[in-house]
Amino acid sequence: MPHLKALKLASVVPVRSAADPVQRAREKMIAVLAEQKQMAEAKIAGQTFTPTHVVRKKNAEGVRVEVETAKRVRQGWFTDGNGKVFFALRYAGKTIEFAKDKNAVEIGELSALPKVIDMLVEAIRAGELDAQLTAAAVERGKMLRKSA
């Protein structure tokens, strides 16, 4: 008991902070872009990129265990017929338009992609894509809540 007397005890209930949906969308996009940058850097270096995540599965005895498995990641860049590289950003299952009728960034060479991704991260942090991210999330929410 002398150890507990040395501590300052209180009666408190934890309060769940209301997460700002715009900030949450920004953080999700920044995480996706970081993963895309790692994938691009691995591709430039000629290495394979295999991200992993932890999933819960039942083992042979029927007990739930956490297992690390390979994560499927969609490549955000593509090459057109002339060999130019473009990068498209997707959020909530929809390609984001950067400006009116502009849904991709022209990169040119794959080696320039990490710098472009860094610029996109800065644009997201500055809030330049908040309207597009919010619109995509609202549209996704409507699609998921369709009444039959």
Report the percent of the chain where pLDDT is more than 70.
93
pLDDT in tens, 58-76: 988 989 999 999 998 889 9
Instruction: Estimate the crossing angle of helix 130-144 against helix 21-45, to 10 degrees.
Output: 100
Statement: residue 141 has pLDDT above 60: yes
pTM (2 d.p.): 0.74
> 3-class SS at 90?
strand
Task: Return the DSSP state at 102.
Answer: B
Determine the pLDDT at residue 148.
47
70/49 Cα distance (integer angstroms): 10
